[in-house]
Amino acid sequence: MPQALKILLSLFALTIGLTQNISHAEPASKGRPTLRDSLCLNVKFSQGQPLTQLPILADLGVGWVRDNVDWPTLEPAINRYVGFPKEFEQRLSYYREHDIGVVFLLAYGNAKVYPESLFGGKLGVPAEPFARYALHVAKLMRASGVRFVLEIGNEPHNWLGSMGGNWQGKPPSPWLDHYLNMVRSTVKTVKAFDPNIKLLTDDDMWIVHYWLMEGGLPPDIDGFAIHPYAARPERAAVNHDTDWTRPFQVVDDNGSFASALRRLREQARKKLGREPEIWITEWGWEHGGKKPDGGRFSEEEIAAYLVRAYVLAAANGVPHTCWFSAQDSVDGPMGLIDNQGRIRRAYAALKNLSLELGDYRFEAQVQGQNTPTSGPQAFLFRHPESGARKTVHWNSDNSQAPQISLTQ
């Protein structure tokens, strides 16, 4: 009979049940990255987060961060490029020392240097100069020895929307056409330098990538970056019949996060002949933010949702998920740490997830496959060397902390 062992873990209160091993078969997860390598965090050092908080990255055990140096800093005059600033070099040194990869956000315009490209008085984003900025970043990052990918801007409908057109990308959308030109120029320029450098396009609404593919997204794009903010992790932010996603149906009738990923991959196979990786470069919840039922998100709920989000992403083939964010900084109460330095419960949740499952690989969903947005859910992870297995389980109908059952 199995022997149970329950341990209360810090603020997160994970429950660990110890049972006997029932199989020594070769894991289906062989060759997949461990969960730790999928754990990414949006850092805010370029927006005021103090460098004294760099050690939290090792404490949390994350494998990636999302960080950046903006375009005007690196090209202060036309075709005059400079190196990374000292503060970013300090961060790179830490990332290199701890084997932390960087999702480098290429951001944003350079209106002082390229005023002739202004749209709405502020953008300064001509496609070819932007591609040269990307190339400069690629060269500096490769020389740094730090693992990296390049993300081509952030939420382009917000960033470029003043150029006009339908906000969700449906033609006519001049902003989407311009973003496509930027993507084509950037991919062509960077790939000519090094075809192995990964580049990601960006979308926060589940629909923009559909219109990007319709408009002629380059087939050698490496990945889609998405921001699946929603009321809870198991559901997408849109429904199967959301009017502004038409003529596409971007989720199944159940509105599940899993179906949104599957449908985006299916569309990519149809339009590009392959499936770019899907990276989540932002995902999180606002502490005290309003819920659909009129309530407010508590620290305990967000700590539980953090674990559910990372597990769901790994279970659905997302190689890297970047929690938003490390510190509140300028974006409101989204951080693991607030602007006064107080550590929230979500911090402990991420740390404990990394400790408990960081060295494990996702193997299979074992409960809830047919009811992805309601009721019990369970996901099996396996250690690639010892073969030990752990199951993460929770009930989607509440916001209680998930449990992790260990099988020796």
Comparing C-alpha atoms, which of 362, 373, 232, 368 is closest to residue 309? 232
Helices marked H in 145-239: 156-159, 174-193, 208-215
Instruction: Tell the burial category of 31 from Cβ atoms under 10 Å away from its Cβ (0-12, 13-18, 19+).
Output: exposed
pLDDT, mean of residues 13-23: 30
pLDDT, mean of residues 203-216: 97
C-alpha torsion sign, points 383, 386, 389, 390: negative
- The answer as to whether 28 is a domain residue is no
Rounded CA-CA distance 203/68 in Å is 18
pLDDT number for residue 375: 98
Residue indicated by tokens 């002739």: 116
- The answer as to whether 368 is a domain residue is no
Say if CB 360 and CB 34 are below 8 A apart.
Answer: yes
- The answer as to whether 176 is a domain residue is yes
Say if CB 66 and CB 322 are below 8 A apart.
Answer: yes
- The answer as to whether 138 is a domain residue is yes
- The answer as to whether 8 is a domain residue is no
**Position with higher pLDDT, 227 vs 30:** 227
pLDDT, mean of residues 343-356: 98
Comparing C-alpha atoms, which of 263, 311, 105, 183 is closest to residue 175? 183
pLDDT, mean of residues 204-211: 97
pLDDT number for residue 135: 98
In this predicted structure, the answer to whether residue 104 has a pLDDT above a threshold of 90 is yes
**Torsion, CA 10, CA 15, CA 18, CA 23, rounded to 10:** -120
Say if CB 76 and CB 113 are below 8 A apart.
Answer: yes
Residue indicated by tokens 């090792």: 58
Rounded CA-CA distance 211/97 in Å is 40
- The answer as to whether 201 is a domain residue is yes
Say if CB 381 and CB 357 are below 8 A apart.
Answer: yes
pLDDT number for residue 408: 55
- The answer as to whether 13 is a domain residue is no
The tally of domains found in the chain comes to 1
C-alpha torsion sign, points 197, 177, 257, 57: positive
pLDDT number for residue 2: 32
Sorting pLDDT into bands at 50, 70 and 90, what band is 117?
A: confident
Q: List Cβ neighbours of 298 (8 Å cut-off, separation of 6 or more).
A: 287, 399
In this predicted structure, the answer to whether residue 28 has a pLDDT above a threshold of 80 is no
- The answer as to whether 246 is a domain residue is yes
Cα angle 267, 269, 274; round to 5: 140
The CATH number covering residue 321 comes to 3.20.20.80
Question: Which phi and psi angles does 203 have, rounded to 5°?
Answer: -165, 135
Average pLDDT, the chain: 92
Instruction: For the chain, give the percent of residues with pLDDT over 90.
Output: 88
Say if CB 152 and CB 202 are below 8 A apart.
Answer: yes
pLDDT number for residue 323: 98
Rounded CA-CA distance 345/326 in Å is 12
Instruction: Quote the domain boundaries for residue 162.
Output: 33-357
Rounded CA-CA distance 402/385 in Å is 25
Rounded CA-CA distance 172/47 in Å is 35
